[in-house]
Homo-oligomer: A and B are copies of this chain.
């Protein structure tokens, strides 16, 4: 799974953090870790740097490296805080099983907004599909997706009933590795109340995003409505150098 040194270290440290192996919230210093793992300090720096970006830890020059207390409090059903996201395996909730039910699957013409979002000409068709996602048979998200047929000519309802992104990676030897997400909240509509079993006073979390391939090609435009109890998005934001 993780034969890269820095990833191995990240996994290892995460595990230790989650097991409360650092009760004073402080990690060993970088030089010690380098010795402990028998790798160079640079590799440690890479691992810690990535973890800091993800908000798991933060570093204080002159003092040391500390665990972000908020990271330990990921109480809700699932949280995004970094890893994957919006995609099948990101709903990795303590071994509970994700499910997908395809509600519809068509080919349509993109409207103006969609043409913009996916860099399409009006003449280029897109697959349009709606999926209901479940955790342990509990529906928690309604997903509406659009993918240009030229980018995935063989897409089918069968594929949509599993992981589209896995299909892209295994069959098209491309990778979906970037996304621009817009997050908001909205009252639940009829569809949401029915499919997600919500009361009229209960809202949905909305995530709207464009997913990009390796090379920057916009691959999918997706709108996700999530049951608010299952919706928690964590984001570590660096307000400097931008």
Contacts and interface: CB of A to CB of B under 8 A. Distances in A.
Contact of A239 (B177, B216, B237): B177
Nearest to A203: B203
A233 interface: yes
A238 B177 contact: yes
A84 B239 contact: yes
B214 A185 contact: no
A109 interface: no
Interface residues of A, number: 70
A110 interface: no
A82 B181 CA distance: 12
A228 B185 contact: yes
Given A58-B212, A201-B187, A182 B70 contact: yes
A122 interface: no
Contacts of A77: 180, 210
Contacts of A201: 187, 200-201
Interface of A: 7, 10, 25, 50, 53-55, 58-61, 63, 66, 68-71, 73, 76-77, 79, 81-85, 87, 116-117, 119, 175-187, 200-205, 210, 212, 214-218, 226, 228, 231-242
A-B interface, 6 closest residue pairs, ranked by CB to CB distance from nearest: A82-B242, A203-B203, A185-B185, A60-B216, A185-B205, A177-B240
